[in-house]
Amino acid sequence: MSARPCTSEKRADPSAPRSRRPAPAALDRDATLSAASAVSRGDERAEVLQIRVDVLTARYRIDGGPSVIVKLWNRPGWRGWLRRATRSAPFSRESIALRRLGDLNGPAPRLLGSFLLDRRSHRHTEALVIEDLGPARDAFDVVAELAGDRADAALADVDDALARLTADMLDAGIVDDDHRLTNMIRPADGRWYRIDFEHARCMRSPARPRRRRGIMLGRLMGTYVFAVQPRLELADRFFERVRGLAGGDRRVRAAASEIVAGMLEQQVRTNNVRTTYELPW
């Protein structure tokens, strides 16, 4: 099923709404566009957070305003245009997912602006300006630390929060092939947020993309196993919190199991670490 804008239905469980968090400082279009342009042109005030061949993520403080996260892609030519037109570009997928979760006060930073940049005067073609949540730890590090310290009660609280975050995404109609612990962060406000939605798809019905739903759950469980190994009983405990998200569908279960098996095989090839684990359906 192709990615498309989600409909505006309300949360699946209105009796348990997510508490409303304060909105970020209001920024006009000129301010956010100026920030995106400055980072793309190499402004020395930009703090580069991540750089790949054609993607740059940086923190940038707007003059007289807050710091923001600027994410840039360089996808020139007709292929880039076609992917944007069909909403299959990473830029498109991330902006759609952020808008959707923002509308629902979901577990993600707010999208402050999205722009197509003139390639003649910038190094990039696409830009998102996103709320800066500040310094944060990712879930992989938190889970690994708590498992190593045998702080199982504290880890159970984290498990509950990560399971809820995943359910919130699915309730919003968002499936994501890259739903890893490293893409979940906890900043100073103590909440958990999902970031990096380049692989996300926003569906009319979250129950329909069965294989992608399974991939999403498998990626989550695979990274959790990596974080807690060799204490695999903790993976079983976390699995009990998320198994219901499979909805009892055999295709979802098969896809999730396939992903976990593949990740464990890759761990042997790349790190020579062998762990045996099967999802306890």
> Domain tally for the chain?
2
Task: Say how many Å lie between the first and final Cα of the chain, rounded.
Answer: 26
Backbone angles phi, psi at 208, to 5 degrees: -80, -40
| pLDDT score for 205 | 63
List beta partners, residue 55.
73
Structure tokens at 47: 């703090």
Q: What is the pLDDT of residues 186-214, one digit of tens each?
A: 999 999 999 999 999 988 765 567 899 99
**Residues 84 and 158 both lie in one domain:** no
| pLDDT score for 110 | 96
Q: Which residues contact 197 (CB under 8 A, 6 or more apart)?
A: 93, 94, 97, 98, 108, 174, 176
| pLDDT score for 1 | 33
Note down the domain range covering 254: 136-271
| pLDDT score for 4 | 41
Last residue of a domain, one of 97, 131, 165: 131
Q: Is 227 exposed, middle or buried (0-12, 13-18, 19+ CB in 10 A)?
A: buried
Task: Answer yes or no: is 4 within a domain.
Answer: no
| pLDDT score for 18 | 55
Segments of the chain scoring below 70 in pLDDT: 1-20, 22-26, 78, 80, 205-208
Of 170, 160, 149, the residue nearest 11 (C-alpha): 170
| pLDDT score for 2 | 37
Q: CA geometry: angle at 63 spanning 62 and 67, to 5°?
A: 30
